[in-house]
C-alpha cells in the first residue's frame, strides 16, 4: 500500500523525524488557510498522487502569496497530472499538501528498501539527491551507495559510520543528526512492516547548513503484513488504486493491470512472469499480470476471467495452468462453467499440464466453446498472439 506524502510525513513526525510543517488541503480555500498557518511567508504547494516525478510535471510549486497559493491550487485540483511514472492519462489530483519552504544548502537521497534476494534491509544513498536521482542512477551509478543491513544483527554503529562517511555527513554537527535519523527510520521501517521508505531529498538547511530535514518522503507498506497493520488501512486512497486490483484481492487473486490486449490467467507468480515474457517474445502485449495461486478454485477461476474481461482492450486470453495442487480436470470444469455463465466471446487459448491433463483436454474439446488448446507455453503464446492480431 502506498501512502501520500502528507501521510508519510505525519508518520515520520510521530516517530521524531525532522520534517517541515505542512497541512493537507482538499480545496483552494483550504490551501489558503493552510498557508496562513505556516511560519514562512512562502509555501510549497504539492500535488498528492501516487507517482513520482511530480516536480518536473508541474505538480510542485513555490508560492509567495495567498492569492498565488489559491491560483496554483485551483490549477491542480480536479485535473490530471502526467508524470514519467503515470500512464498517458495521468492521475487526477484530489488533494494537496501545503508546506513551509526551507533554505536548502545541500540535498541527498536516502532510502530503505526490503531486498528479498539477500534477504536484508538495504539502505540506498547518494550525495546527488533531488529531482534528477533517476538520471544519476542511470549515468553515474558509482554515486549510488548501497549498504545491506543484516536483520539478524540490526542497524549497528559500523553501518552508520560507513554511510555518514560516504555522504560526507561527518563531524560533531552532522554525524550525530544523521545517525539518529537513520536509527529512527530503521525502527519505523520494522514497526510498520514497510517495503520502501524513500526520502528525496534529505537536505541540510538553515543559514549555516547545519540541520538535517526530510523535505519529501514516499512510504510503501508490505501488503503481506496487512493483518498486522490494520491501523494503516485508514490511510489507503482507493481513488488512486485500480478497482480491478482491489476486487481481485477480495478473491485471493494477485492482479496488476497493464497496457496490452492479451489477458493472462496463470497459477503461480513465477509462471505468470514467464507467461508474460513468452507472450512478449512472440510479439504480443499482456494486458495484465494475474496469479490465481497454486490451488485455484472454480470460484477463483470464474472471478479471474470476469475481472480480466472488464478490460475492454482484451482481445484474447491465455490460460496457463500447471496442475500440481489443483487437478487439471477441475480447472477445465471451472473454465467451461465460467465461459457459459459469462457468455464470453473472446478467444481463449488454454495450456494445461499436470494431474489429469488428458481428461481436462477432452472436456474442453467436447464443450463446444471457443477454447483453443496449446501443447506447451510457446505454442500457447503463438496462438494467443495470432488470435489477438486477428481480432484487432
The residues carrying an active-site annotation are 109, 198
User: Residue 117 and residue 119: Cα distance in Å, rounded?
Assistant: 5
User: Residue 52 and residue 270: Cα distance in Å, rounded?
Assistant: 28
User: In terms of Cα–Cα distance, which of 185, 195, 1, 215 is closest to 100?
Assistant: 215
User: Residue 253 and residue 248: Cα distance in Å, rounded?
Assistant: 5
Q: Is 367 helix (H, G, I), strand (E, B) or coil?
A: coil
Q: Decide: 27 and 93 in contact? Cβ < 8 Å.
A: no
User: Residue 35 and residue 92: Cα distance in Å, rounded?
Assistant: 22
Residue with cell 525532522: 18
Q: Decide: 310 and 244 in contact? Cβ < 8 Å.
A: yes
Q: Are strands 194-205 and 104-115 parallel, antiparallel or unpaired?
A: antiparallel
Point out which residues pair with 144 in neighbouring strands. 126
Residue with cell 491542480: 76
User: In terms of Cα–Cα distance, which of 271, 280, 268, 265 is closest to 346?
Assistant: 265
Cell of 283: 510479439
Amino acid at each position: 500500500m502506498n501512502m501520500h506524502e502528507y501521510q508519510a510525513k505525519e508518520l515520520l513526525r510521530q516517530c521524531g523525524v525532522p520534517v517541515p510543517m505542512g497541512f493537507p488541503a482538499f480545496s483552494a480555500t483550504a490551501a489558503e488557510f493552510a498557508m496562513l498557518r505556516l511560519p514562512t511567508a512562502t509555501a510549497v504547494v504539492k500535488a498528492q498522487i501516487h507517482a513520482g516525478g511530480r516536480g518536473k510535471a508541474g505538480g510542485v510549486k513555490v508560492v509567495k502569496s495567498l492569492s498565488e497559493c489559491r491560483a496554483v491550487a485551483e490549477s491542480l485540483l480536479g485535473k490530471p497530472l502526467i508524470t514519467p511514472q503515470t500512464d498517458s492519462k495521468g492521475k487526477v489530483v484530489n488533494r494537496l499538501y501545503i508546506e513551509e519552504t526551507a533554505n536548502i544548502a545541500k540535498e541527498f537521497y536516502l532510502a530503505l528498501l526490503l531486498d528479498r534476494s539477500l534477504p536484508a534491509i538495504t539502505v540506498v544513498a547518494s550525495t546527488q539527491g533531488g529531482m534528477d536521482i533517476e538520471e544519476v542512477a542511470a549515468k553515474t551509478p558509482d554515486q549510488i551507495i548501497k549498504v545491506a543491513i543484516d536483520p539478524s544483527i540490526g542497524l549497528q554503529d559500523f553501518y552508520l559510520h560507513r554511510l555518514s562517511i560516504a555522504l560526507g555527513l561527518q563531524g560533531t554537527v552532522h554525524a550525530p543528526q544523521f545517525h539518529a535519523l537513520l536509527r529512527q527510520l530503521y525502527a519505523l521501517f520494522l514497526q510498520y512492516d514497510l517495503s520502501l521508505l524513500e526520502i528525496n531529498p534529505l537536505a541540510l538547511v538553515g543559514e549555516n547548513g547545519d540541520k538535517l530535514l526530510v523535505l519529501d518522503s514516499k512510504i510503501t507498506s508490505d501488503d503481506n503484513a496487512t493483518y498486522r497493520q490494520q491501523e494503516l488501512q485508514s490511510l489507503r486512497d482507493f481513488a488512486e488504486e485500480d478497482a480491478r486490483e482491489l476486487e481481485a484481492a477480495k478473491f485471493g487473486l494477485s492482479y496488476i493491470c497493464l497496457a496490452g490486449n492479451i489477458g493472462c490467467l496463470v497459477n503461480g507468480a513465477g509462471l505468470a512472469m514467464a507467461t508474460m515474457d513468452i507472450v512478449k517474445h512472440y510479439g504480443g502485449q499482456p494486458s495484465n499480470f494475474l496469479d490465481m495461486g497454486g490451488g485455484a478454485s472454480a470460484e477463483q477461476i470464474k472471478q479471474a476471467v470476469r475481472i480480466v474481461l472488464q478490460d475492454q482492450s482484451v482481445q484474447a486470453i491465455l490460460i496457463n495452468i500447471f496442475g500440481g495442487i489443483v487437478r487439471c480436470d477441475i480447472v477445465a470444469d471451472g473454465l467451461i462453467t465460467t465461459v457459459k455463465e459469462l457468455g464470453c466471446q473472446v478467444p481463449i487459448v488454454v495450456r494445461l499440464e499436470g494431474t489429469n491433463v488428458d481428461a481436462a483436454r477432452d472436456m474442453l474439446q467436447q464443450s463446444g466453446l471457443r477454447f483453443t488448446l496449446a501443447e506447451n507455453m510457446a505454442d500457447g503464446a503463438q496462438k494467443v498472439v495470432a488470435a489477438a492480431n486477428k481480432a484487432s
